[in-house]
């Protein structure tokens, strides 16, 4: 089996590869949210909860970030295009260019987090994850909403995100925040 190749769904290269016998094994998407389209009131309402508190993460949270990453590492669907690698200590450390937001439960445990890279105007989502016991309760949507509001306040103009086409939870969370899908990718492999 050859190394998988990731191409845009509309790329003519895809047709050529498929003629040569390459087959699609996964689909993924890219989506964008422009700051001037952010509905602050609606997103703000998504972050107000009585079961968890949503806040920016900092250096003191690194051990909890690594622990949550460790127990969810096998949960990311898709193929090479949407792979999530275990966080190193450096990648788990929030900073001015690597911003992170999390949800903390009543016992003080970190149960969800979203990490983005931020260059002062553009935001690229790295990953979002929720503890399995807390999924399906709007928590991914809440931490992503908190991150969008805070980063707009800090000058963000454009947010990008992406993921596996089969990941309905993240697709719907992105749609709830106003992300518009503008890229489709296929991962091809040659059996
Ligand atoms: C994807 C993930 C982050 C979603 O977290 P979550 O807290 O369950 O998401 P939310 O509760 O905010 O749900 C958002 C929407 O998706 C829906 N949803 C969530 N999980 C779903 C599922 N497995 N199947 C179908 N719909 C789902 C919710 O009903 C909600 O829909 P709505 O806005 O129409 O009400 C979580 O499943 C997870 O951690 N998965 C593993 C890591 C991962 O894949 N991360 C994303 C790629 S970086």
162 lines ligand 1 (CB under 6 A): no
Provide the pLDDT for residue 80: 83
**43 ligand 1 Cβ < 6 A:** no
Q: Choose among 132, 149, 136: nearest CA to 45.
A: 149
Closest among 130, 31, 129, 28 to 82, alpha carbons compared = 28
Q: Spell out the per-residue pLDDT of the chain, length 191, in tens.
A: 678 999 999 999 999 999 999 999 999 999 999 999 999 999 999 999 999 999 999 999 999 999 999 999 999 987 788 889 999 999 999 999 999 999 999 999 999 999 999 999 999 999 999 999 999 999 999 999 999 999 999 999 999 999 899 999 999 999 999 999 999 999 999 98
Which residue from 74, 135, 165, 166 has its CB within 8 A of the most atoms of ligand 1, so it is best to mutate? Answer: 135
Q: In whole angstroms, give the CA distance from residue 111 to residue 130.
A: 6
Encoding tokens for residue 66?
């690594």
Please state the pTM of the whole predicted model: 0.94
Helix H or strand E segment including 160: strand 158-164
pLDDT for position 1: 64
SS3 content of the chain, % helix, strand, coil (to 5): 35, 30, 30
Query: Would you say the CB of residue 161 lies under 6 angstroms from ligand 1?
Result: no
CA of 128 to the centre of ligand 1 (A): 10
């Amino acid at each position: 089996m050859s190394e998988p190749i990731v191409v845009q769904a509309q790329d003519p290269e895809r047709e050529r590869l498929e003629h040569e016998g390459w087959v699609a094994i996964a689909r993924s998407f890219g989506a964008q949210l422009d700051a001037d389209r952010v509905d602050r009131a609606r997103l703000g309402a998504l972050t107000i909860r009585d079961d968890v508190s949503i806040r920016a993460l900092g250096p003191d949270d690194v051990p909890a970030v690594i622990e949550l990453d460790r127990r969810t590492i096998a949960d990311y669907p898709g193929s090479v295009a949407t792979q999530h690698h275990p966080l190193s200590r450096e990648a788990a450390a929030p900073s001015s260019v690597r911003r992170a937001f999390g949800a903390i439960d009543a016992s003080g445990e970190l149960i969800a987090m979203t990490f983005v890279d931020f260059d002062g105007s553009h935001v690229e989502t790295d990953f979002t994850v929720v503890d399995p016991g807390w999924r399906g309760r709007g928590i991914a949507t809440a931490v992503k909403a908190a991150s969008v509001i805070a980063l707009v306040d800090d000058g963000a103009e454009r947010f990008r995100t992406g993921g596996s086409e089969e990941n309905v939870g993240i697709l719907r969370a992105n749609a709830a925040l106003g992300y518009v899908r503008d890229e489709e990718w296929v991962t091809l492999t040659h059996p």
